Amino acid sequence: MENTKKYSYDYDQYESGKGPATMVEDILADPEFPGRSELVIGCWGSAYEDSCQEILDGIVEHSAEFSHIERLFVGDMDYEECEVSWIIQGDYSRLWAAMPQLKELTIKGSCDLELGEVCHEGLESLTIICGGLPSNVILAIQKAKLPNLKKLLLYIGVENYGFDGDADMIRTLLAEADFPKLKYLGIADSEIQDELAEVVLDCKFMGQLETLDLSCGTLSDKGAALLVEKLPAYPNIQLLDIHHHYLTDAAVESLGQLPIEIDVSDQNEAEVYRGEVWMNAILTE
């Protein structure tokens, strides 16, 4: 039996009365649920109108029944169900204490997202997928107490869909965050990917990472040159993920000389319109 199960509602189920208020009840009524260690929450029927707060509250209120869940994904839906920028998230403040066994948390969507005071001894992986990461969420991660965190993957996104910071904000995040066991760092999906590459390459975590993820953004030859220059100083890094990029063939070839595994798939060409160069992060709206 697979350890993962996804719960979601389609339009017809939503029209018949299903929604955030019924999701936890339906999960707990499923005889297969006790045998699963990973819980995936998909569309709750009207994610562009209703938040997932009742789902989060239900998990907290029934924490004993969810005590076997080690991996949680809230918001796993595609654009046909709900654009990522429309997904109304919730407040995770109470979840940290309610699920001490949790090892992995993935959140999709950043609208109305609140992490609260993040403190969790066992969490090993935190991923936030969105079209724009708000400063309040960045600050919460900056202050987080996650002594066993091994993977941090943040989709930075763009200003039009929620990112209200800049490269200096990400520099401060990485300077002040305390994740002694971090092995995978992803600062991805940004329209200022070259700037963020420079920030990441100068951060204190570089000497302990095994995977560096700068994917899904607008990385160009400028960022690639920095990677070629600085990565040889960090033999600990085994994988560089920069898929969805705007590198020229020459830059790709130059990176290929590095003695590490590199994902350089999804090569794009910048568009020029009325004298302006346009490059896009992979996930925005």
Averages of pLDDT over each 10 residues, the chain, 285 residues: 89 94 97 97 94 98 98 96 96 98 98 98 98 97 98 96 95 98 98 98 98 98 98 98 98 96 96 87 93
In this structure, is residue 133 part of a structural domain? yes
Locate 198 and state its tokens. 């420079």
In this structure, is residue 119 part of a structural domain? yes
Locate 264 and state its tokens. 């350089």
In this structure, is residue 13 part of a structural domain? yes
In this structure, is residue 14 part of a structural domain? yes
pLDDT at position 2, please?
77
In this structure, is residue 117 part of a structural domain? yes
Q: Where are the beta strands (DSSP E) in the chain?
A: 4-7, 38-41, 71-74, 104-108, 125-129, 151-157, 184-190, 211-213, 239-241, 261-263, 271-273, 276-278
pLDDT at position 273, please?
84
pLDDT at position 135, please?
97
pLDDT at position 274, please?
84
In this structure, is residue 285 part of a structural domain? no
In this structure, is residue 29 part of a structural domain? yes
CATH for 224: 3.80.10.10
pTM surpassing 0.85?
yes
The answer to whether 124 touches 148, Cβ cutoff 8 Å, is yes
Locate 128 and state its tokens. 């936030």
In this structure, is residue 173 part of a structural domain? yes
The answer to whether 100 touches 69, Cβ cutoff 8 Å, is no
Domain carrying residue 85:
4-278
Angle between helices 135-142 and 167-176 in degrees, nearest 10: 20
Domain count across the chain = 1
- Pinpoint the alpha helices (H) of the chain: 11-15, 20-29, 53-61, 95-98, 135-142, 167-176, 193-201, 221-230, 249-255
Angle between helices 20-29 and 53-61 in degrees, nearest 10: 40
The answer to whether 70 touches 38, Cβ cutoff 8 Å, is yes
Cβ-proximal residues to 184 (8 Å cutoff; 6+ apart), any chain: 125, 150, 151, 152, 153, 209, 210, 211, 213
